[in-house]
Amino acid sequence: MEQILVKNKTFDIVEQMGSKSYKVTRKGKTFFLRKFVESSNELKEFEAKARELKISGVSIPKLRLVDKKRNLALVDFIPGPTALDILVAQNLDGEYYKRIFEAAWYAEHDKITLNFHPDNWVLYNGKLYYLLFDYVEGYDKEKSFDLVGLRYWFYTKELANYIESKGLPVDKTRIKDEYATNKEMVMCAYQYHV
């Protein structure tokens, strides 16, 4: 098994998850490891954004190690399907909506704009984790969860197009007419909006 060194600790590489990211293990625990471009500010920006997100109240995986010499960051691995994985197969339950509205509220009050696409979120042990560790400074109402993001958390035309762009199967029979979709979203917002 291939191994990688992070801050003089050896981790086994379980799988490559992206061009610069890996699922790794050490002593029976699983982590997510991300490599950053050398001689860039990517790692420093990642650390700063992780700090800000933690302060904001948005749930993120815990940052465990930062290896500045090797440009590596190690965070807890959050198991389970993303919200998008679930939406492909079925509708989400109320716990997802309760938690995503909380995260949107935290982001708005911390004046940051998150990426609300459902493949960036995993519900685990009652917490909805934001996996992207990225945001835009300043709260952009035009890209807010209420106006834009929520449409990706129901089986809408927008979600179907997004699913298709990811190469996943689309079930067009699940797309309701605009009136029914809007009514469902309004009822959800009424019930779960913070």
Which tens digits make up the pLDDT trace of 141-179? 888 898 899 999 999 999 999 999 999 999 999 999 999
Q: What pLDDT, on the 0 to 100 scale, is given for residue 1?
A: 76
For residue 74, CA distances in Å to 62, 68, 91, 103, 139 come to 9, 11, 32, 23, 28
Q: How confident is the model at residue 186 (pLDDT cuts 50, 70, 90)?
A: very high
pLDDT, one tens digit per residue, over 80-124 is: 999 999 999 999 999 999 999 999 999 999 999 999 999 999 999
The answer, yes or no, to whether residue 127 has pLDDT greater than 80, is: yes
Question: What pLDDT sits at residue 49?
Answer: 96
- Work out the pLDDT band at 193, boundaries 50, 70, 90: confident
- Looking at residue 144, its pLDDT comes to 87
* Percentage with pLDDT > 90 across the chain: 91
Contacts of 122 (CB under 8 A, 6+ apart): 78, 79, 80, 81, 82, 83, 128, 129, 131
Q: Can you tell me the mean pLDDT for 49-53?
A: 96
Using alpha carbons, select from 154, 110, 158, 153 the residue that is nearest to residue 135: 110
Rounded alpha-carbon distances, angstroms, from residue 188 to 12, 15, 152, 175: 43, 37, 13, 17
Q: What's the mean pLDDT when you consider all of the chain?
A: 94
Confidence band for 39, pLDDT divided at 50, 70 and 90: confident
Q: Specify the pLDDT at position 24.
A: 97
Of 76, 145, 90, the residue nearest 116 (C-alpha): 145
Measured at the alpha carbon of residue 75, what is the angle toward residues 86 and 56, in degrees to the nearest 5?
80
How many alpha carbons fall within 13 Å on the CB side of residue 160?
10
Which pLDDT value is given to residue 59? 97
pLDDT at position 147: 87
- Contact 99/128 with Cβ under 8 angstroms? yes
Residue 72 has pLDDT above 90, yes or no: yes
